[in-house]
Amino acid sequence: MSGFPILSLMLAVPLVAAILCLYAGDRNARMIALVATLIDFALGVVLWANFDIGGAQWQFVERADLFGRFSYKLGIDGMALMLIMLSVFLMPLCILASWDAIKQRVGLYMAMFLIMEVVMIGVFMAQDLLLFYIFFEAGLIPMYFIIGIWGGANRKYAAFKFFLYTLLGSVLMLIAMIAMIAEAGTTDIPTLLNYDFPVEMQTWLWLAFFASLAVKMPMWPVHTWLPDAHVQAPTAGSMILAGVLLKLGAYGFIRFMMPMFPDASAQLMWLVFGLSMVAVVYTSLVALVQNDMKKLIAYSSVAHMAIVTAGLFAFNQQGIEGALIIMLSHGVVSAALFFCVGVIYDRLHTREIDRYGGLAVNMPAYALFFMLFTMASIGLPGTSGFVGEFLSLLGIYEASSVVAFVCTTGIILGAAYMLYLYRRVVFGELTKDDVKAMPDLNPREWAIMAPLAAVALWMGVYPESFLAPMRSDVTTVVARLAPAKPAGDAHLAAGKPKPAAAHGENAHGSSHAGGVQ
Amino acid sequence: MIQAIVFLPLLAALVAGLGQRAIGPFASKLVTTGALFTSCALSWPIFLSFVMGTGEAEVVTVLHWVSSGALQFNWELRVDTLTAVMLVVITTVSALVHLYSWGYMEEDPDQPRFFAYLSLFTFAMLMLVTADNLVQMFFGWEGVGLASYLLIGFWYKKPSANAAAIKAFVVNRVGDLGFMLGIFGTFLVFGTVSIPEILAAAPGMAGSTITFMGMRLDTMTILCLLLFIGAMGKSAQLGLHTWLPDAMEGPTPVSALIHAATMVTAGVFMVCRLSPMFETAPIALGVVTFVGAATCLFAATVGTTQWDIKRVIAYSTCSQLGYMFFAAGVGAYGAAMFHLFTHAFFKALLFLGAGSVIHAMHHEQDMRYYGGLRKHIPLTYWAMLAGTLAITGVGIAGVAGFAGFHSKDGILEAAFAAGGGGVIAFWVGIFAALLTSFYSWRLVFLTFYGKPRWEQSEHIQHAVHDDHGHGHDDHGHAPKADGDGTAGYHPHESPLSMLIPLGVLSLGAVFAGFIFAHPFIYPEEGKAFWAGSIAFDEHLMHLAHEVPTWVKWTPFTVMAIGLFLAWNSYIRNTTLPARFVAQFKLLHQFLYNKWYFDELYNILFVKPAFAIGRFFWKRGDEGTIDRFGPDGAAALVAGGTRLAVRLQSGYVYGYAFVMLLGLVGLASWAMVNFL
């Protein structure tokens, strides 16, 4: 594979297809989009198959110098690979999900999705800071149009809110990036990753990045754009928003903030932990009282993302790997849950939970898939949700038992709001006539549900497939953070019998030395 | 072989669950039942080989699961004595319950789904007991929780069943919170989640301290307590018990399998599996003893007042689990496991017998409307009698008795012998045994003796007046005149598929204690039998066998008193209970309403959760964040209402968007030229 510009090809395929879609008729546009996204998925599989696990950190590197310091430089590591796989996997499913639901301006819609794919995988591939920024912010544009044009009744308010939130953070991040380039004299991300910024400067850069990334995550209290955006977005828009766009924030944390500003990350760890703890409890409780299915799942996303941020800032292998697995798992499962909402929305055109009930009778296949994804969202062992949640919470515990305790209460509340939702939609007596008339899944819907279900189970039973490519990258980040890492709150002290205590001490890392606080 | 035992039920569940439309209900039932009988047939030789002393402990690795830094664990199946005991309990009861369900669920349209859930449950339970690491145990733990949720809510059209299902899952999750934190802490301290490694290293950790939630605590105590919270949830111990009585909303075979014989004993199994760890934490063991004894007493008191036949047995289960826990708490793990073993048989028998009664009485579950059923369903009566003799512990000290006699007396003697808190547990256990005898015989007398009181039952009236539309035509001779309390209804004995399991379990209820007492709780034989799979305390068991004679006879005496009280109240002088209730109204209300736990939790947790959620949503998100955030910013920028109008038309955000793009362009230009 060496030398073949596969990453550029993956960017080019949807880009070309997007242009074609603009000029093709409605039916052709659908087909073009589907074929293009499937080709990209196939390329992704090739990419994964050729990725050398345990090899060089950056693989498939391409570089073309443009003007000034700005260069077109692509390359991926294991974390980027997995997130690219998530994107190219979800894309064809999103196109299929929009197949019948979108009837107006289909060509434009498909073009927007394809452009979205370009910028999403571009974010994960970019190795130049400026290139990254362009992709990162450009991701807003197609999403903005998808909500604004094909959204629900209140789409303009939602699009505006989405925009306003992200604008503020973006500007701060851009300023921070300019400062970084001025200080380090390069835009090359791998170089920046090993550049030691002065500690006091790190704090400011960290805060500027945080302003942008916290909105993207979204973290409490800048999360309120998400429920509105989800509610108004068309089904596929919600799928990709929850599936991939929400992961950009966390990707920014692990790619930039933590390795580039390790001291600031350690100093401000309390801020991230604090906001995450609030988010888990607060948004879970809010999810409990929602009447709108999409809002409920949107709030649950905020709670899940809070465990991601807390897991990342645990600064250890389990916490970070767990957070990454939650990102992948949540990408699959929340996309699937939004699709589950979409399936019945297409039939009854309401998201109101109380309008449904008793679907287990006339839609048994749907009920089964919905149950599986509900369980995956709750984090039932054997599904993808468990592995990520377990690892990250375990990592968090090593850092702080208090944070772990508060975050773990999310498993109780998560079960409560998801099962309560499921009960109201699927169980109960089938009484309403229009609900009775709803047919079970059609083949197209099966084709979307089945792969999502398969991946959710695969990730739960054999997560090694997903952990292995990312392992050395996480180790690198952990090593980078090690000098700044504060000691956990456990302070295990040996009692009378000495020998075993040493064993326990070894177990949770020798990195206790040299805390900054 | 162990792979076949564990994975056959899973395979059958998948075939029956996913392929039901292709293969039809009959084949679905056949596949699942066949798989379970095969598993059962494969399990008994393993168990017997351990009884004979020829069994070898082994661990079979199936698949790698997770590795993350120092944390490594596999999917693996462990077989040792402790597992072998659980294997036979699970597969035997499950196979019999599968068979029983052929008859009990005959009229249900969703049978394949039911059988698939049952098999899925069995798979998860087997994964739990074969776990060699804590995470796989947690997998099984949650897997049985899922199956329990699905089966409690099996009749998903009933709101009460759905509510009970969610309650079971969520209350168990509270326990799981403790379990998970326990696993995290264990990994932090020991650097592994492998059970044998933890148990080997545990004694070395005794006396060490750790900070947990800002408190400086003894390491082993806090770890054991966290894990025990998990056990409390699954085994419905006081505080986290509220889901178990409600779980009776599920079909009766489910209650027998999951909520009596197997799943609810998972907590006891966990404590026994980790017994070498608990041995290093005396304070934690004290808590286990206390919680066990308290549950034992609490549930028995509530059991005396309930009218629903299944609820009586449910509280009885809760109470018996309390016995098992305080046995474990005083260090008599062998006795705890022995009671788990015998209890599985006689409690499954009681539930299935109750199911047979309910089946005969056209789904009436209220014992007030039973009576005089002995002659109508004699086989069920004899089976229930065997179960009752077993649970009340009828037997002659030093000679032989029914199953519960050997195991319960074993527990009480061990508790007495252990001294200290054990003696308190002993007396609590004795008092609970009195209550056990009372409510068990009360159940039998109300159901099978006296005159029929069926005519007040709506279910029976429906059955009679619906003109036998439910397949009871063969018994439907001309309804006789009223006055005998039967309303002309003719209960019918259950079909063979239900009677065979009752028969087999009756054998267990009668003989299991007598046959297996030696390997389970006798000092020398026990040591050889358990072979280190639990922390078997030979010395304690010696002491237990040498307790004073009065200690050995007290359980029998209180059993006789309970029997007499029940007979006196429900056969000899049937007005007595009503007079008693009138006399002690408050006490009765307190017990009848289950000590008001549900009401308390509703006020403390459920309602506030919803209220706070609504507050955060309306006042937090909408009232504060949005108001001063995006909405406020919008108002500020363009001066209030004018903007709102434009916002509607959608121009402003368009401008703002162009602004952003311009800014990006400008910044890029600046960066390129400037740096």
On the question of pLDDT at B326 being above 80, the answer is yes
Which of A394, A409, A416 has its CB closest to that of B71?
Answer: A394
> What is the token pair recorded at B502?
């009752």
On the question of pLDDT at B675 being above 80, the answer is no
Interface probe, candidates B671, B673, B675, chain A, greatest A C-beta count within 10 A:
B671
Selection from A430, A454, A434 nearest residue A344 by Cα: A434
Which of B177, B201, B210 has its CB closest to that of A408?
Answer: B177
3-class DSSP state of B216? strand
What pLDDT, on a 0 to 100 scale, did the predictor assign at position A515?
34
Q: Cβ separation of B625 and A160 shorter than 8 Å?
A: no
- Mean residue pLDDT across chain B: 87
Cβ neighbours of residue A133 closer than 8 Å, sequence gap 6 or more = A173, A174, A177, B664
Contact list in A for residue B653 (CB cut-off 8 A) is 148, 156, 159-160, 163-164
Q: Cβ separation of A387 and B612 shorter than 8 Å?
A: no
What pLDDT, on a 0 to 100 scale, did the predictor assign at position A508?
40
Contact list in B for residue A412 (CB cut-off 8 A) is 170, 173-174, 176-177
Query: Per-residue pLDDT tens for A378-417?
Result: 999 999 999 999 999 999 999 999 999 999 999 999 999 9
Contact list in A for residue B208 (CB cut-off 8 A) is 492-495, 501, 504
Under 8 Å between Cβ of A136 and A123: yes
Spatial separation of the C-alpha atoms in residues B400 and B394, rounded to whole Å: 9
Q: Is B621 left (phi over 0), alpha (psi -120 to 50) or beta?
A: alpha
Whether A190 contacts chain B with CB within 8 A: no
Contact list in B for residue A147 (CB cut-off 8 A) is none
Query: Per-residue pLDDT tens for A134-154?
Result: 888 887 778 888 888 887 777
Whether A181 contacts chain B with CB within 8 A: yes
Spatial separation of the C-alpha atoms in residues A352 and A127, rounded to whole Å: 44
Angle between helices B195-205 and B219-234 (to 10 degrees): 140
How many other C-beta atoms can be found within 10 angstroms of the C-beta atom of residue B652?
22
pLDDT category of residue B611 using cuts at 50, 70 and 90 = confident
On the question of pLDDT at A168 being above 80, the answer is no
Contact list in B for residue A311 (CB cut-off 8 A) is none
CB contacts under 8 A, A 320-349 vs B, are 321-322
Question: How many Cα atoms sit within 13 Å of A428 on the Cβ side?
Answer: 21
A281: nearest CA partner in chain B? B613
Residue carrying the six token digits 């400037």: B674
What pLDDT, on a 0 to 100 scale, did the predictor assign at position B500?
94
Q: How many CB pairs under 8 A join A and B?
A: 276
On the question of pLDDT at A2 being above 70, the answer is no
Query: Per-residue pLDDT tens for B441-485?
Result: 999 999 998 888 888 888 888 877 765 444 444 444 444 445 677
On the question of pLDDT at A220 being above 60, the answer is yes
> What is the token pair recorded at B187?
């990994």
Tally: H helices and E strands in chain B: 31, 4
Spatial separation of the C-alpha atoms in residues B364 and B368, rounded to whole Å: 10
Contact list in A for residue B72 (CB cut-off 8 A) is none
Q: Cβ separation of A411 and B614 shorter than 8 Å?
A: no
Question: Apex CA A204: angle with CA A201 and CA A209, to 5°?
Answer: 120
A372: nearest CA partner in chain B? B146
Angstrom distances, CA of residue B457 to CA of A16, B180, B444, B461, B494: 74, 46, 19, 6, 20
Separation in Å, CA of B208 to nearest CA in chain A: 4
Query: In B257-402, which residue ranges form alpha helices assigned H by DSSP?
Result: 266-273, 275-278, 282-303, 309-329, 333-360, 378-392
- Dihedral sign, Cα of residue B392, residue B398, residue B403, residue B407: positive
Q: Cβ separation of B170 and A156 shorter than 8 Å?
A: no
Contact list in B for residue A281 (CB cut-off 8 A) is none
What pLDDT, on a 0 to 100 scale, did the predictor assign at position A40?
92
A291-312 per-residue burial string, b: 16 or more CB within 10 A, e: under 16 = ebbbbbbbbbbbbbbbbbbbbb
Interface probe, candidates A286, A421, A426, chain B, greatest B C-beta count within 10 A:
A286
Query: Per-residue pLDDT tens for B40-56?
Result: 999 999 999 999 888 88
Q: Cβ separation of A492 and B153 shorter than 8 Å?
A: no
- Mean residue pLDDT across chain A: 87
CB contacts under 8 A, A 7-66 vs B, are none
Contact list in A for residue B219 (CB cut-off 8 A) is 492, 495
A211-234 per-residue burial string, b: 16 or more CB within 10 A, e: under 16 = bbbbbbbbbbbbbbbbbbbbbbbb
Share of chain B above pLDDT 70, in %: 91
- Can you tell me the ipTM of this complex? 0.89
Q: Cβ separation of A318 and B205 shorter than 8 Å?
A: no
Q: Do the strands B71-79 and B215-218 form a parallel or antiparallel pair, or are they unpaired?
A: unpaired
Lowest mean pLDDT among A141-150, A508-517, B579-588: A508-517
Question: Apex CA B525: angle with CA B520 and CA B531, to 5°?
Answer: 80
What pLDDT, on a 0 to 100 scale, did the predictor assign at position B460?
82
Separation in Å, CA of A402 to nearest CA in chain B: 5
Contact list in A for residue B149 (CB cut-off 8 A) is 419
pLDDT category of residue A68 using cuts at 50, 70 and 90 = low
What pLDDT, on a 0 to 100 scale, did the predictor assign at position B481?
47
Spatial separation of the C-alpha atoms in residues B294 and B660, rounded to whole Å: 66
Separation in Å, CA of B273 to nearest CA in chain A: 20
B172: nearest CA partner in chain A? A412
